[in-house]
Structures are given as structure tokens and as C-alpha cells.
Amino acid sequence: MTPSVPDPNSSATGRDSRATGGDSGRESSPAPYAAREVTGSEARRVAEAARETEWVRPSFVRELFLGRLRMDLIDPFPEPAVQDGEAGERFLLELEGFLRGLDPLAMDEAAGIAPEVLDGLRRLGAFGIKIPKEYGGLGFSQRTYSRAMALCHSHSSAISVLLSAHQSIGVPQPVRMFGTSEQKRKYLPRVAKGAISGFALTEPDVGSDPARITSAAVPTEDGEAFILNGEKLWCTNGPVAELLVVMARTPHREGGRSGITAFIVEADSPGVSVEHRCSFMGLQGIENAVLRFRDVRIPRDNLLLEEGRGLKLALATLNAGRLSIPWVCAASGKWCVQVSREWATVRRQWGVNIGRHEAVAHMISGMAADTFAMQAIAELAVALSDSGEYDIRLEAALAKLHNSEVGWRVVDDAMQIRGGRGYETAASLARRGEPAIGVEQELRSMRINRIFEGSSEIMRLFIAREALDPHLQAAGSLLDPDASPGRKARDAVRLGWHMAGWLGGTLMGGRGRFGYRRYGSLAGHLAFADRSARRLARTLARAMVRYGPKLEQRQAVLFRLVDVGAEIFAIAAACAWAQKRLAEQPDDRTPLKLADMACRRARRRIGSLFRRVFDPLDGAEYAFAQEVMAGDYGWMEKGILEPPAPVGFDRPVGRA
């Protein structure tokens, strides 16, 4: 089956004005909120207001950053609240059969997904995998959904992105979580049947700093609707979506302060237009666009949650949305391991198979071990989610961070092992009679996972903020420049008692290898993880004492500590999942060997990260970077044809 290529200037989407970017000649009202610079403190206030500040349910990762390795929270793996059973397995088999009937090479070369492919996915119910049966969905668990996304990615990343953007961050997830009963009855059956949806948050000048959002929705005089104006960038599914969740600034009901509000927008509403179809390095079949909203009328009934709480909705939605990325990355790792090991046993250089050369053997060893760790983390994250008994905001973030970073390393090694055949496209390989193994396609598709739904840097900042939260609460007014000296003195004493008690707990209570004896050959790794968790907590305390309120600016320090936490998480997940596999198949010892190698590699990385936490080169590197950006070394850039300067940047003429 060969997908057709949609014409961006046709009415194939069913909406002429959207396809051409027209607005039926309507005059566009100016947005009442002009673009403006936002101070760091204001941006932090907006972000803090959107945070969930309470921890009602347990979190393994939160405990980890407090210095406690709570294996009792993850081993045995939590049971799902609902079992999918044979129905779930049957769906996955049908999905696999459908995917095998598609041509992945044609899909990679097409700009968009063919209508017959979309219709096939609709017949399978793939647009409603997680939507409850009472609303026409399949009602399956996060695990079945994640397995489906992994299957799709192994065939066409465009399909997995389409379904994920629709179902994890598009209309289904926020309506399920925050919609009224009327909204659920109205929209969930539509999206379950295949009415494609998208999520519109990012703007041309707004990425991870939502305080700068300029899209605005102003109430009508009668209060029955809102008028939306603005532009959204990189809206996945935008060109083909029937429904959108759009974030826009609204006047706050208390005083004149504004807030961010979430709306359900019918994509064929007058004034909604596709201004530009975006194309990317990878994900060739993805539907993605710049969307423009000109005087779009939104009924008040389409408001999600309540006015001013859109960012809370967005963050909660993204928590669940991130869970499929670790599975996709693990699926990529499996594919790369299979490709690499098979190639390493048939490709001969200097008289032996290349897998016999130590350099290649080490790469394959690392790929297999790291892929096991990725799958263990993916399995654990969805198990915690499906149980409904845990707060998974940190687990989802850490799983996304770890697997997207490790997955990129794995696919890069696969490229190196395949060499020229890895760099050559699958289509070119096929034309000259070789198997169409698209390593370069996999590399192109994998790279985005370190960027979207929270870049690696944003994930580390988010995790670090949550890790510091108990101590920031104890600090009270110490971080408030306007607090009185007396209040700061009282809070300093309180913080001192808090830190003393907390640090005391990290110095004692370790279980040692004997305490983890039920894990057999893996006991030593968990004892190391236990010690490392307590060391992580103490190092975090040292950083707080050393830098005080300026710690948030020492991102290199915080990022290394977060990465230590990610590696400890990988050790714990690998050991817990190996135990689960061993209990299910007692005669198979391979999970123990995979877990052992994964833990050995994680321990080596943890040691390196701890040694470099307070790297003396950090300050010099930061100062040097400022000089580079100031153009002090512009002479080094001479001798090239200069690239276009970014918008808003005035490139000096005649640099030294």
C-alpha cells in the first residue's frame, strides 16, 4: 500500500480555508496581549502556579532523591487496575498484521499519511485505545497502548506520532482527566471513532516558557463565548485534525491579572487556518503545521477545567503523554540490537566477523544492556501508572529523559556498526539489491525524542525542582529577597533543623548486600544503588549549602545530580524487572545477565557523575561561552558562507 502525498494547497483536509491559510476575508482583531519580555521571576511565578504542590500518593523517584531506595514500591511490579487479557493481545496481533501490510519505505518518502492508512487504523479502533468502552473506545491500559506505540514505531514513526499526539496529548487525554460529563459524552465517542485531534501550546516565540504566551481568548460581552486570536507552532496533527486543545491567555476573573486557559476548538471553525505545513529531519510522514486563529468564536462550554488553569492541565496531560516515549525508545533499541548483532556475525573484516573485534563487541554489549534497562524503565513506569496508586510525575519525566538519551546512543552505535550501509538510505539499499535496513531513517526519527514533550534540559530542570521541593519548603522566606531579617533568621533556624534531621537519615539505615539477598547475583548492585541514593541526597544538601538561592542557576551541577538519579532508577528498574521475568520463567537466566551488565554500566556512569558534580571547569566554560556569543572569537568563523541570522539578531559587520 503506497500512501498518497497530500497537496498542501488542496481541499483534501475538507476545509478550504484551513488548507490555503485563508480566513474568508474577515478582518482580524488585534490580540489584546502583545508580545512582551517576561522577567525571570515572573516566568518562575507562572511555572510555580502550574505545579502540583502536594504529594498524596507515593513516588519511588521522589523517595530516591530524598536518599531512600524504596524497592518495596516497585518490587513486585504493581498490578494494573484493569487487566486487558486476551482482548488486548488480540488487538496487538491485529495491529501487527495491519502494519506488516504497509510499505515503510513509501511512508517515509510521503509527506503525510494516506487516507487508506487512517481508515485502517480507524477500523482497528487505534484512535481510541485508552478511551473507556462506555465512550466507544477499546478501554485498554497504558501498557497495551504503549506496546501498540512501540509496534507502530518499529514500522513507521509517523504512525506512532500520529496516534500518540492524538491520544496522549490531544483531546482524549485532557477530556478524560478534566472534562465535564457533557464534554466526555460529546467528544470522546468522536475521537474514539477516529476524529483526529491535536494539542496547540507552542508559539513561534514561546517554547518552554509559557509565561510568554500571546495567543489570547477574550470573553464576549454576553459571556457566552470567547474570541480567540493567535498563532501556534509545530502543532502535530494540525493539518488533518478535527479537534484541537488550544492554550490561550485569558483575563483572570480576580482583578486584572491574566492566566492561561485550555479550550476545545473545532478545527473547521471560521478563522482557523493552516498557515504552513512543517517538515523535519525525521518523521517524514508526520502531519504538523503552523496554525492561525483569527477571531475564532469558542463557546464557553468548550472551556476545559476552568479559566486560568490551563497550564495545570497541560502539565498533567504531558505526564501521561510522556509514558509512550520510553517504550518507543526501547523499541528502537531492540531494532538496533537485532540489526547490529546480525550484521556483526556476517560482516567480515581482517579474517573474522566484525563482532569479534573488541571495539564492535563493546558497542553491542552496551547496546543490549542499555536496551534492557530502557525496557525495564518503560515497563515500570506504565505499571506504576496502570495501578492508579502512585504519583508518576517524576517517574514519567525520568523515564522520558533516560530512555531518550540512551536510545540516541544506541541508534548512533548501530549507525557506526553498519558503517556506510547505515548511512545509506533503505530505499537506495533496496534499489541496488540489498536488504532495506533503514538505520539512517531510525536515527532521523529517534533524534526528536530528546526534544519534544519536554527537552532533556527542561526535564532535568523539572526533576531538579521537584527534588529540591522539600528543602525549599523548609527554607521558607530565605529565598524571598523582600522578607524581613527577623523572618529570615527564624526560617534559617528551621531550615537548619530540617537539614540536620534529613542528612542524619542519609548517614544511617543502609541495608547493605545482605539486605537485598533475595535478588541473588543482583544484590550487590542494589546495595550500591542504596548507598548512591543516600550519597545523592547528601550531595544535594552540599550543593544547597554551597550555592544557596543561586543553586537554580548552577544547571551543570543540578543536571549531573539528576543524571545520577536516572542511573539509580535504571539499576532499580532493571533488577525489579529481572526478578519479575525470573518469576514468570524460572529456567531462563538471561534477564539476570542482562540486568547485571546494565547495572555494571550504570555504576560506572554514577561514579563518573559523582566525581564531576562540582567540576571546577564549569565557571570557566560559562564565562568562555559568553565571550563566544559576544563575538569575541568571530575571526574563527571566517572562510565560510555565513548561514542566515536568526530572527531578532543583528549580525555585526566586519567582525574581528
Q: Which residues are catalytic?
A: 453
The answer to whether 137 and 175 are in contact (CB under 8 A) is: no
Question: What's the CA gap between 228 and 222, in Å, rounded?
Answer: 16
* Closest listed residue to residue 519, CA positions, set 628, 599, 620: 599
* Closest listed residue to residue 249, CA positions, set 210, 222, 275: 210
Written as one letter, the residue type at 133 is: K
List the alpha helices (DSSP H) in 219-264. none
Q: How many CB atoms lie within 10 A of CB 484?
A: 10
Q: Which residues pair with 197 in a beta bridge?
A: 243
Cα 375 to chain centroid, rounded: 16
* Closest listed residue to residue 462, CA positions, set 250, 314, 619, 613: 314
Q: Which residues are within 8 A (CB) of 364 and not within 5 positions of it... i.e. 6 or more apart? A: 337, 340, 341, 344, 355, 417
The answer to whether 447 and 282 are in contact (CB under 8 A) is: yes
Q: How many CB atoms lie within 10 A of CB 536?
A: 27
The angle, 0 to 180 degrees and rounded to 10, between the axes of the packed helices 358-387 and 393-418 is: 160
Phi, psi of 199 (to 5 degrees): -130, 125
Element (H, E) at 303: strand 303-304
Element (H, E) at 231: strand 225-236
Q: Which residues pair with 266 in a beta bridge?
A: 243
* All cell numbers assigned to 645: 541570522
Question: What's the CA gap between 36 and 1, in Å, rounded?
Answer: 49
Q: Which residue has the cell 534492557?
A: 372
Q: How far is CA 395 from CA 127, 340, 391, 546, 604, in A?
A: 25, 30, 8, 28, 22
Question: What's the CA gap between 656 and 84, in Å, rounded?
Answer: 66
The answer to whether 476 and 491 are in contact (CB under 8 A) is: yes
Cα 336 to chain centroid, rounded: 21
Q: Which residues pair with 348 in a beta bridge?
A: 353
Written as one letter, the residue type at 65 is: F
Phi, psi of 418 (to 5 degrees): -75, -20
Question: What's the CA gap between 113 and 284, in Å, rounded?
Answer: 9
Q: How far is CA 75 from CA 383, 389, 517, 581, in A?
A: 11, 14, 14, 12
Cα 58 to chain centroid, rounded: 22
Strands, E assignment, 6-155: none
Helices (H) and strands (E) in the chain, counts: 24, 10
Question: What's the CA gap between 495 and 474, in Å, rounded?
Answer: 5
The answer to whether 228 and 267 are in contact (CB under 8 A) is: no
Question: What's the CA gap between 305 and 247, in Å, rounded?
Answer: 12
